[in-house]
Amino acid sequence: MDIRKIKKLIELLEESGIAEIEIKEGEEAVRISRMPTGNAVVHAMPQIAAAVPAEAAPAAAASVEAAKPRPNEHVVTAPMVGTFYAAPTPGAKPFVDIGDEIKVGQVLCIIEAMKMMNQIEADRPGRVTSIMARNGDPVEYGQPLFVIE
């Protein structure tokens, strides 16, 4: 597969809201997936290795620096890959908002994985100071979701 075609696919993925695309031409296949930080990664078989656009690397490093919690903060991370939902149903009030006081075991969000709705509960009491995912966003394992103070 021509590298120009792959670059064009990456551009199309970045311009659209599509999270992932897979193209097969004969025996060759290319799968391009958008990471939560916005980086595009190309997985191709058999001849092309993974590639990350060079301009995306500094942005990824900056987001890692911004994600470091302060000593009095606790970060709740995604325990699985799936889709983040802030409310129990579309249009319903979110489980928590910024500034809410929460208790241990209180539901913070739902992550849909393989058509299963998994409630994510608070593991510490405190006040929600940041919500780091938007409703309907895909989330990765270990991705920060909430900051609790």
- Shared domain for 81 and 131, answered yes or no, is yes
| Domains of the chain: total | 2
- Shared domain for 10 and 51, answered yes or no, is yes
pLDDT of the residue at 6? 78
pLDDT in tens, 7-47: 787 777 777 767 777 778 777 777 777 654 444 444 444 44
- For 133, residues 6+ apart whose C-beta sits below 8 A from its C-beta are 78, 84, 86, 109, 139, 143, 145
**Residue listed under structure tokens 């391009």:** 32
- Shared domain for 107 and 94, answered yes or no, is yes
- Shared domain for 96 and 121, answered yes or no, is yes
pLDDT in tens, 56-75: 444 444 444 444 556 778 89
Q: Work out the average pLDDT over 131-148.
A: 92
Structural domain for 119, as ranges: 67-148
Band of pLDDT at residue 148, cut at 50, 70 and 90: very high
- Shared domain for 101 and 71, answered yes or no, is yes
pLDDT in tens, 83-124: 999 999 888 999 999 999 999 999 999 999 888 899 999 999
Full-model pTM = 0.54
pLDDT of the residue at 29? 79
Q: Can you give the CATH number for the domain in which 72 is found?
A: 2.40.50.100
Q: CA 21 to CA 94: how far, in whole Å?
A: 31
Q: Which of 20, 39, 64 is the last residue of a domain?
A: 64
- Shared domain for 53 and 75, answered yes or no, is no
